[in-house]
Chain A
Amino acid sequence: MSLILRLSLAALLLAPMGLSAGVARAEDSTVIQVTLSNHRFDPAEIHVPAGKKVDLVVTNKDAEPEEFDSSDLKVEKVIAGGQQATIHLRPLAAGKYAFEGEYHDDTAKGVVIAE
């Protein structure tokens, strides 16, 4: 029993990893630079091609940390003060996808427009 339990747990933990085997990281994706300063995104309106992988490289020029947050894009990522982070966007259907900096959501707001 104990062996079966352990094997199953191992399978559970490793199964999602297995999916990644053989899947190349997105070398062919479009890269878009975004800066965050004074708790505002620039550009705040980001145009991306629909159906393609896109990487957003977000540079946080503020001293404070920020969390790039978007349930539309299914992304939540902390970017420490003065640091840069790459956000892999999944291929998006045409449409608008809102995002925000969770810690300063009165000013840090933006939208990704896939077209």
Chain B
Amino acid sequence: MLAAFIIVFREAIEAGLIVGIVLAATRGLAHRGRWIAYGVGGGVIGACLVAAFAGELGNLFEGSGQELFNAAILLFAVGMLTWHNVWMASHGRDMARQLQQVGAAVASGDRSLMALALVVGVAVLREGSEVVLFLYGVLMGGASPMTIGAGGALGLLGGVALSVVMYLGLLAVPTKRLFGVTSGLIVLVAAGLASQAVAFLQQGGFISMLMTPLWDTSWLLTDGSVPGRLLKTLIGYTAQPDGAQLIAYLATIALMVGLMSATRPRVRPLPAHAE
């Protein structure tokens, strides 16, 4: 039961934090709960499919199918997060104003919500498929479904608790600043995902440049520890980043910030300003 709890909780960390951030970043958007629920539901179905076809997936691309798949969905998530942030750069100010005045969901941003629902789906799919494989394995190995189920449920509850803490923490930010903070967080999350995608491409043999670790902070914080995993999701922490990962990380930040400032309306927008 402890093993089930530990594994499920460990995997639920990333999805939990991302759901919390997405909930805060979409405050004031109509139907956000429904979209996020679609994301989680789709992610769970995807996780089961990926787990069921793990063997077949792994055999693609000369045995590197799994790495390519992971890198592709991570980069897809980076694209969706970029899209959301660019959208937010032009709509965030109005949304914050409406929230301050009305205090409830008013704005509509279905496309941006869809992008974030896909990000939630990807996070659930990635972490969830590992959980499904683990549970399948231990049940096959003869463990009692009751104890495994109890451990897994507790682990899942831990992930939900993290979502709530993240969300409530972000709600403590003054409404005027909220979207600035969530956009900043999303840039760092996306940069971290890009760096993880590079690690998968390296593991699959698709990138073999700049692979020497630049530094090693594992004496301070290992990737596998709970704080290490929290920071991995939030800012892309890894104890031993290499050159290619660092380039991907910085390039993602530069690209997102560049696109966001190119889209942000001027301080005094012309009435005729169109998108």
Contacts and interface: CB of A to CB of B under 8 A. Distances in A.
Interface string A11-37: 111011101100101100000000000
B153 interface: no
Contacts of B259: 4-5, 8
A96 interface: no
B264 to A, nearest CB: 11
B55 A83 contact: yes
B204 A88 contact: yes
Given A71-B222, A103-B133, A91 B211 contact: yes
Nearest to A29: B205
Interface string B243-266: 010001001100100110011000
A64 B139 CA distance: 9
Contacts of A71: 218, 222-224, 238-240
Nearest to A71: B223
A86 B130 contact: no
Given A87-B203, A90-B211, A77 B137 contact: no
Interface string B63-79: 11011000100011011
B143 to A, nearest CB: 11
A102 B82 contact: no
A103 B58 contact: no
B58 A78 contact: yes
Interface in A58-109: 63-67, 71-72, 74-83, 85-88, 90-91, 93, 102-104, 106
Contact of B140 (A64, A83, A87, A104): A64
A20 B138 contact: no
B117 interface: no
B205 A79 contact: no
Given A65-B137, A66-B137, A90-B202, A23 B63 contact: no
Contacts of B54: 65, 78, 80
A64 B78 CA distance: 33
Contacts of A72: 218, 240
A12 B238 CA distance: 21
Contact of A19 (B66, B209, B262): B209
A23 B136 contact: no
A3 interface: no
B47 interface: no
Contact of A26 (B137, B205, B275): B205
Given A65-B134, A74-B240, A83-B59, 11 more contacts: A8-B255, A9-B79, A13-B79, A15-B251, A16-B194, A20-B208, A25-B205, A64-B141, A67-B134, A91-B212, A102-B7
14 contacts: A9-B83, A12-B251, A16-B75, A16-B197, A16-B201, A65-B136, A72-B218, A72-B240, A74-B238, A75-B203, A81-B140, A82-B55, A85-B58, A90-B211
Question: Which 7 residue pairs of A and B lie closest in terms of their CB atoms, listed nearest first?
Answer: A64-B137, A80-B55, A71-B223, A20-B206, A90-B211, A65-B133, A88-B205
Interface of B: 3, 7, 51, 54-55, 58-59, 62-64, 66-67, 71, 75-76, 78-79, 82-83, 86, 129-130, 133-134, 136-138, 140-141, 194, 197-199, 201-209, 211-212, 218, 222-224, 238-240, 242, 244, 248, 251-252, 255, 258-259, 262-263, 275
